Amino acid sequence: MALQTNKPLNGRRRGQSKRDQATLQNGVVWTITAPFALYLADQTLRRSSAQVRSEEAKMLGIVSRKVLGQSLGRIRPAVWALRNYSSAEKQMTVRDALNSALDEEMSADPKVFLMGEEVGEYQGAYKISKGLLEKYGPERVLDTPITEAGFTGIGVGAAYYGLKPVVEFMTFNFSMQAIDHIINSAAKSNYMSAGQISVPIVFRGPNGAAAGVGAQHSQCYAAWYGSCPGLKVLSPYSSEDARGLLKAAIRDPDPVIFLENELLYGESFPISAEVLDSSFCLPIGKAKIEREGRDVTITAFSKMVGFALKAADILAKDGISAEIINLRSIRPLDTPTINASVRKTNRLVTVEEGFPQHGVGAEICMAVVEESFGYLDAPVERIAGADVPMPYAANLERMAVPQIEDIVRAAKRACYRSTAMAATA
Amino acid sequence: MALSTSLRSNLIKPLTALTALSSTHHLRSPFSSSADDTTVLTIETSVPFIGHRCEPPSRNVETTPKEVLGFFRDMALMRRMEIASDSLYKSKLIRGFCHLYDGQEAVAVGMEAAITRRDCIITAYRDHCIYLGRGGTLFECFSELMGRQSGCSKGKGGSMHFYKKENGFYGGHGIVGAQIPLGCGLAFAQKYSKDETVTFAMYGDGAANQGQLFEALNMAALWDLPAILVCENNHYGMGTAEWRAAKSPAYYKRGDYVPGLKVDGMDVLAVKQACRFAKEHALKNGPIILEMDTYRYHGHSMSDPGSTYRTRDEISGVRQERDAIERVRKLILSHELSTEAELKSIEKEIRGQVDDAIARAKESPMPDPSELFTNVYVKGFGIEVAGADRKEVRGVLP
């Protein structure tokens, strides 16, 4: 792919005046600094590819150490588009990751179709399905009326027949209108029919709290759907997660609940060429260790993974090395990975945005108690949303969802490093 | 509730004037007509069809002696199966819910006569006879009802969850009204796949008030889906009479902008005509509603005697005046398609088949305990699952 420094294809974003920017058609944002690009071009011309790769690896090492110390959202690592490089670092937003995954799966399998409110002509309420109507036509990208029970039932019926619907809920709060079809018509059918009626459907959309949208639009449904046999429940964090898990979900022959996060849609993450390949797929039921550590295990999913990573940086300054597990899959839960981590660190903090009672953290705690009780050196700590409907006022809303300092405090408690506890002794 | 009065004279006097071919039938001996598939009989339905936003089909239905005798046999089999299930339930071999269809057989049988196995049917929980009509066997039915592994759902579904996907039968659903959007989804998929087939989504007068019906119907009409909504109006939603549940019990009109047809659901030929008409309509013009005026002799389910909200006189009145099997019997005898004795021997044969299937089903084994963990997913990735005591019973999802 050629380096294009002078002619941005999609126009510059505001605030990018110091950098040249080229946006390729698949939405990958390449950001380079001119002097660095010139240096690389010069080096490539002078050295053999093997030498250049080892140089690049060293440079990557420098770059990656820097990345860990800063918020991922702000970093735009330098990228290079020289044809000889196989391990270039690119950036992609979660939105583009989802869009490209949908596009590729629809292209690969004519049975895949998308339905939901505003997915077609409006280009998607959050622009996730941008361009798909134009590319695939109104028979495969269907704008539905605002009738969740009806269109979810229609989607499940189409899946019974053998099509592969992707049903979008504008937010998962509205899935409650259709929850009978998700649970009773989709999740249970393969079992009740002893394998005759399988339901290869994906239900996707934003889940959990956004910003200032109030109580009826902020609930997290991970625990509810995660408890239901017959469903698979996934929740991506990064763009790699978004692409890999959505592709896996669409290819999976079972009903999958795909819980996205509205606030993550615009976030950019580094993404490798392997992830960009149209055959890329992540396994369902496997968590990812985002950051290795020795002292305490912190589990999280979706937006909270970002918070946990930032908490890990803060904890590192206090000499606590936190291992961050990005669950990726709520059901099946990767209990082997979680247990292995707890057996290593002996301490556990679970983090989620949703309501605490009967939540994901409660399940993880029990799974660890069942398998690794002897390895725990401290009680399991749980960070979750407040046990109240989501308030609107900004200060109250801030108190109703976990913040980075909450995760830090809980991790310190698990490590018996909490000063407050010492004071009350 | 108004009982439709069908005049016996309609059955005894076939309209021979309308077809030249039928004049030959009285020259044949009765015994040869049982296999006769070539003679065309034209029979008038008991009552005319009533249309809503559509021109109703003709009251004159073409059929053959073979088809009519087939109707008799199929309906008698369904009737006997349901009555036998009643006894099995009372002797506690069938557990949980058991919703019996006896009285409504003409709807299942008439529909099958008008469609192919590539058309789809989906219904609610009163599904035993629909399953039979779609090619299920008595043995599979009774095994499933008794929870044996030879059942159509391997014993894991039960009375309300019979399926036969390869023959276009998609269940068997326990949640009232849910099958309607699912049926519209099947129709959507048929149109998407360009199969030129239709889906019949069946529901009762109780489900006719469900919101999701109107949501699905709206989309079916918007997208011209080949969906036929069939309201089996047996006039009672569990214990609630239709006039207490619906402000407008004219269910064939409830689609508003969607055409509808009211049909005598106790007349198998009328049902056949209506379903044939509806299939043609749906393939060209999108959804249509059929209201089948029918009746169930049993209560809502085996837990319901069925006589607290309706009089025994009403039930016996329908049995005498409108019974679907009796109507076909009179048709057969009046047209000399068979004899009284032959019909009785068919019924005796059916009794034997049912008893035999029950005996075999009683002997067949319960599912293996390992089946607890099968079919949760199509692709289980070898995930571990547990029974009630997680330390005691563990399984792996295949």
Q: What DSSP assignment string belongs to B176-191?
A: TTTHHHHHHHHHHHHH
Distance CA A357, CA A361 (A): 9
Distance CA A230, CA B194 (A): 30
Q: Residue A420 domain-assigned?
A: no
Q: Are residues B301 and B380 in the same domain?
A: no
What band does B37 get if pLDDT is binned at 50, 70 and 90?
confident
Q: Are residues B381 and B350 in the same domain?
A: no
Pairs of CB atoms within 8 A across A/B = 156
Choose, from A55, A118, A217, A371, the residue flagged as catalytic.
Answer: A217
Which are the contacts of B5, defined by CB distance < 8 A and separation ≥ 6? Answer: B321
**B32 in contact with chain A, both atoms CB, cutoff 8 A:** no
Distance CA B136, CA B144 (A): 11
DSSP readout, B213-249? HHHHHHHHHHTT--EEEEEEE-SEETTEEHHHH-S--
Q: Give the residue carrying structure tokens 């698990």.
A: A414
Q: Are residues B248 and B388 in the same domain?
A: no
8 A C-beta contact, residue A151 and residue A145: yes
Domain boundary among A87, A121, A152: A87
CA angle B223, B226, B232 (to 5 degrees): 120
pLDDT of residue A12 exceeding 50: no
Q: Are residues B259 and B375 in the same domain?
A: no
Parallel/antiparallel/unpaired status of strands A288-291 and A141-143: unpaired
B174-220 residue pLDDT tens = 999 999 999 999 999 999 999 999 999 999 999 999 999 999 999 99
Q: Are residues A102 and A233 in the same domain?
A: yes
Q: Are residues A75 and A104 in the same domain?
A: no
8 A C-beta contact, residue A270 and residue A228: no
Q: Are residues B102 and B176 in the same domain?
A: yes
B111-168 residue pLDDT tens = 999 999 999 999 999 999 999 999 999 999 999 999 999 999 999 999 999 999 999 9
In this structure, is the dihedral angle defined by the CA atoms of residues A293, A297, A302 and A307, taken in order, positive or negative? negative
Distance CA B120, CA B188 (A): 12
8 A C-beta contact, residue B41 and residue B31: no
Q: Are residues A126 and A272 in the same domain?
A: yes
Q: Residue B19 domain-assigned?
A: no
Q: Residue B355 domain-assigned?
A: yes
Q: Residue B2 domain-assigned?
A: no
- How distant is the Cα of A268 from the closest Cα of chain B, in angstroms? 31
Taking residues B264-285, what's their average pLDDT? 98
Which are the contacts of B395, defined by CB distance < 8 A and separation ≥ 6? Answer: B370, B372, B373, B384, B385, B386, B387
Using CB atoms, which residue from B212, B376, B381 is nearest to A191? B376
**Total domains in the fold of chain A:** 3
CB atoms within 10 A of CB B386: 13
Q: Are residues B164 and B97 in the same domain?
A: yes
Whether residues B192 and A145 touch (CB distance < 8 A) is answered with no
CATH number of the domain that residue B212 is part of: 3.40.50.970
Q: Residue A16 domain-assigned?
A: yes
Parallel/antiparallel/unpaired status of strands A288-291 and A256-260: unpaired
Annotated catalytic residue A181: no
- Mean pLDDT estimate for chain B: 92
What percent of chain A has a predicted confidence (pLDDT) above 70? 78
Token pair for B369: 């305990």
Q: Residue A99 domain-assigned?
A: yes
**Nearest Cα residue to B293 out of B236, B377, B378:** B236
Residue type, A103: D
CA atoms within 13 A on the CB side of A169: 29
8 A C-beta contact, residue B102 and residue B297: yes
Parallel/antiparallel/unpaired status of strands A348-351 and B199-204: unpaired
What band does B6 get if pLDDT is binned at 50, 70 and 90?
very low
B237: cis peptide before it, omega within 30°?
no
Distance CA A95, CA A129 (A): 9
Chain A residues with beta carbon closer than 8 angstroms to that of B170: 157, 160, 197
Q: Are residues A214 and A119 in the same domain?
A: yes
Token pair for B159: 């009375």
pLDDT at A89: 74
pLDDT at A425: 47
pLDDT of residue A83 exceeding 80: no
Q: Residue A332 domain-assigned?
A: yes
Q: Are residues B255 and B362 in the same domain?
A: yes
Q: Residue B25 domain-assigned?
A: no
Of A55-64, A135-144, A254-263, the range with the lowest mean pLDDT is A55-64
Q: Are residues A239 and A149 in the same domain?
A: yes
**Total domains in the fold of chain B:** 2
Computed over its alpha carbons, how large is the radius of gyration of chain A? 23
Q: Residue A403 domain-assigned?
A: yes
Domain boundary among A87, A118, A146: A87
Choose, from A117, A148, A267, A381, the residue flagged as catalytic.
Answer: A148
Which are the contacts of A32, defined by CB distance < 8 A and separation ≥ 6? Answer: A3, A5, A19, A20, A78, A79, A80, A81
Q: Are residues A270 and A294 in the same domain?
A: no
Q: Are residues A123 and A235 in the same domain?
A: yes
pLDDT at A60: 43
Residues 178..217 of B with a Cβ closer than 8 Å to A: which? 178, 180-190, 192-193, 211-212, 214-216
- How distant is the Cα of B182 from the closest Cα of chain A, in angstroms? 4
CATH number of the domain that residue A303 is part of: 3.40.50.920
Q: Residue A368 domain-assigned?
A: yes
Q: Residue A419 domain-assigned?
A: no
Q: Give the residue carrying structure tokens 């209506």.
A: B274
Distance CA B371, CA B387 (A): 12
What band does B36 get if pLDDT is binned at 50, 70 and 90?
confident
Annotated catalytic residue A217: yes
CB atoms within 10 A of CB A286: 14
Provide long-range contacts, Cβ within 8 A and 24+ apart, for A317-320.
A318/A412, A318/A417, A320/A295, A320/A296, A320/A411, A320/A412, A320/A415, A320/A417
A332: cis peptide before it, omega within 30°?
yes
pLDDT at A170: 98
Pure H helices in A324-359: 335-345
Q: Residue A140 domain-assigned?
A: yes
**B6 in contact with chain A, both atoms CB, cutoff 8 A:** no
Which are the contacts of A408, defined by CB distance < 8 A and separation ≥ 6? Answer: A311, A314, A315
Q: Are residues B325 and B382 in the same domain?
A: no
Q: Are residues B388 and B261 in the same domain?
A: no
Q: Are residues A314 and A169 in the same domain?
A: no
Taking residues B347-356, what's their average pLDDT? 98
Domain boundary among A252, A276, A300: A276
Residue type, A250: I
pLDDT at B296: 97
Q: Are residues A107 and A166 in the same domain?
A: yes
**A144 in contact with chain B, both atoms CB, cutoff 8 A:** yes
What band does A27 get if pLDDT is binned at 50, 70 and 90?
very low
CB atoms within 10 A of CB A53: 16
Parallel/antiparallel/unpaired status of strands A348-351 and A329-331: unpaired
CATH number of the domain that residue A131 is part of: 3.40.50.970
Q: Are residues B384 and B295 in the same domain?
A: no
**What residues make up the domain containing A69?**
3-87
Q: Are residues B389 and B320 in the same domain?
A: no
Q: Are residues A97 and A217 in the same domain?
A: yes
Q: Are residues A254 and A189 in the same domain?
A: yes
Residue type, A136: Y
8 A C-beta contact, residue B291 and residue B251: yes
**What residues make up the domain containing B393?**
370-397
Whether residues B193 and A163 touch (CB distance < 8 A) is answered with yes
Q: Are residues A324 and A184 in the same domain?
A: no
- Widest pairwise Cα distance in chain B: 78
Taking residues A30-41, what's their average pLDDT? 49
Q: Residue B207 domain-assigned?
A: yes
Q: Are residues B374 and B354 in the same domain?
A: no
pLDDT at A88: 56
DSSP readout, A76-130? -------TT-SS--EEEEHHHHHHHHHHHHHHH-TTEEEEETTSSTT--TTSTTT
Q: Report helix angle B211-222 to A148-161, nearest 10.
A: 70
Residues 6..35 of A with a Cβ closer than 8 Å to B: which? none
Beta-bridge partners for B240:
B237
Distance CA A131, CA A100 (A): 10
